């Protein structure tokens, strides 16, 4: 997966406007994942982990989520030496193989749980996936890794799966695919970013009024949080909104979609989580999995672009999910003051909205 080279340019555009001597590498660089691997191999969490290799996905796997036309477009783009898929998403030589490996590795992690070989698995994959639509790439994402795993779980006979996505951005591709089903409860906590492309409809915005359609009405829950929500704001949102919704839904499998771009030091967001916030959220996820899914939890890697702090926050998240006693690793850089009062206000308003408009949450 390190072979995917998203290029360099001004910010994440791949463009060189000609005014800068030093262009930055695209944020989705291989180094972020190199550091995630190394901290898990050499950090204090290492003795608690075991490592398994993934394998590339087959086209037949991809068609469970994506359209034939889109897969054909990607194969063709790879054969012709690459393509700019959207304004920040690049398929370069090496990218398609990496993308198939990310999708296949996520499916391998899901099978590990579905086949009963283990209760927990973490798919450390790149490029990320949760913005990828059934028929197009979006926001660094080419194939929807978590979405493919969800479909595999449904095909294996599960009828109730919950997804909690804490990447700083709306998991719009996953939401779109499962928007009309009550088999998959999608919950996304993200910054209040609105649509990130003027051509996008309101459906891509992550707004709280996007609650699903038809049979799926009420089974897409968006929690947009203000900038600077921090550990206390996120923990309040998780305890007041996510936990009651999951407790009502009672999933057979919990899919925890993680992005360290919600951290205090990420170039793409200002949500201001620290290691301690990630650790606490990880612990809450584990407790919910213990209550409802016999401890079964699939974790899927999405964004997280500060190459040092993302690795540290990942370590803390997994400490939480593993329910380890004391923090194993100190936070080397957290220093921003917290200001959770805006998040608390938004969460309280959202809770009232859910009680009034989501039938299965009327008494949370
Ligand atoms: Zn993100």
CA distance linking residue 268 with residue 29, whole number of Å: 14
| pLDDT on residue 185 | 98
Token look-up 């360290």 returns 260
Judge whether 126 lies within some domain: yes
Does residue 133 sit within a domain? yes
The pLDDT value recorded for residue 289 is 98
Has residue 331 been placed in a domain? yes
Ligand 1 centre and the CA of 258: distance in Å? 9
**Is the distance from CB of 145 to CB of 180 less than 8 angstroms?**
no
In a domain, 269, yes or no: yes
- What is the domain-level CATH number for residue 123? 3.40.800.20
Per-position pLDDT tens, the chain of length 364 = 999 999 999 999 999 999 999 999 999 999 999 999 999 999 999 999 999 999 999 999 999 999 999 999 999 999 999 999 999 999 999 999 999 999 999 999 999 999 999 999 999 999 999 999 999 999 999 999 999 999 999 999 999 999 999 999 999 999 999 999 999 999 999 999 998 877 888 989 999 999 999 999 999 999 999 999 999 999 999 999 999 999 999 999 999 999 999 999 999 999 999 999 999 999 999 999 999 999 999 999 999 999 999 999 999 999 999 999 889 999 999 988 888 999 999 999 999 999 999 999 999 9
18, part of any domain: no
Separation of 138 CA from ligand 1 center, angstroms? 11
Confidence at residue 264, expressed as pLDDT on a 0 to 100 scale: 97
Instruction: For residue 195, give its domain range.
Output: 25-51+119-147+157-361
Q: Separation of 261 CA from ligand 1 center, angstroms?
A: 6
Q: Is residue 194 part of a domain?
A: yes
In the numeric block, the tokens 């839904």 are attached to 249
Which of 26, 66, 130, 131 is catalytic? The answer is 131
What is the 116 CA–ligand 1 centroid distance (Å)?
31
User: Residue 71 contacts by C-beta under 8 Å, 6 or more apart in sequence?
Assistant: 59, 62, 63
| Active-site residue flag, 131 | yes
**Gap from CA of 233 to ligand 1 centroid (Å):** 18
Q: For residue 148, what are its two tokens? A: 């493919």
Tally of structural domains, the chain: 1
Measure 249 CA to ligand 1 centroid, in angstroms.
26
CB 230 within 8 A of CB 339: yes
- List the end-to-end C-alpha distance of the chain, in Å, as a whole number: 42
210 within a domain of the structure (yes/no): yes
At 336 the pLDDT is 86
Report the C-alpha gap between 209 and 192 in whole angstroms. Answer: 13
- Give me ligand 1 centre to Cα 76, in Å: 27
**Prediction pTM value:** 0.98
Residue 339 lies in a domain: yes
């Amino acid at each position: 997966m390190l072979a995917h080279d998203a290029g360099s340019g001004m910010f994440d555009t791949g463009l060189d406007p000609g005014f800068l001597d030093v262009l930055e590498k695209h944020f989705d660089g291989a180094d972020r994942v190199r550091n995630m691997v190394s901290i898990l191999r050499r950090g204090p969490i290492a003795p608690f982990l075991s490592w398994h290799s993934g394998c590339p996905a087959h086209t037949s796997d991809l068609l469970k989520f994506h359209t034939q036309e889109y897969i054909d477009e990607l194969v063709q783009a790879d054969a012709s030496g690459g393509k700019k898929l959207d304004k920040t998403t690049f398929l370069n030589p090496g990218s398609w193989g990496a993308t198939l490996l990310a999708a296949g590795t996520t499916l391998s992690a899901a099978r590990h749980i579905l086949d009963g070989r283990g209760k927990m698995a973490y798919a450390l994959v790149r490029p990320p996936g949760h913005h990828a639509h059934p028929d197009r790439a979006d926001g660094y994402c080419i194939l929807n890794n978590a979405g493919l795993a969800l479909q595999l779980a449904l095909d294996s006979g599960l009828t109730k799966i919950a997804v909690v996505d804490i990447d700083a951005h709306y998991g719009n591709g996953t939401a779109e695919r499962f928007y009309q089903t009550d088999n998959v409860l999608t919950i996304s906590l993200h910054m209040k970013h609105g649509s990130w492309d003027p051509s996008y409809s309101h459906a891509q915005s992550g707004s709280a009024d996007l609650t699903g359609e038809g049979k799926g009405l009420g089974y897409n829950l968006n929690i947009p949080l203000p900038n600077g929500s921090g550990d206390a704001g996120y923990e309040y949102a998780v305890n007041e909104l996510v936990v009651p919704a999951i407790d009502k839904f009672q999933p057979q499998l919990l899919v925890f979609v993680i992005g360290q771009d919600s951290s205090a030091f990420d170039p793409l967001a200002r949500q201001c989580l620290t290691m301690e916030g990630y650790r606490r959220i990880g612990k809450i996820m584990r407790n919910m999995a213990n209550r409802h899914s016999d401890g079964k939890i699939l974790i899927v890697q999405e964004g997280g672009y500060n190459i040092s702090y993302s690795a540290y926050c990942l370590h803390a998240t997994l400490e939480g999910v593993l329910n380890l006693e004391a923090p194993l690793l100190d936070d080397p850089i957290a220093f921003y003051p917290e200001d959770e009062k805006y998040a608390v206000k938004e969460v309280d308003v959202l809770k009232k909205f859910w009680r009034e408009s989501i039938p299965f949450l009327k008494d949370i």
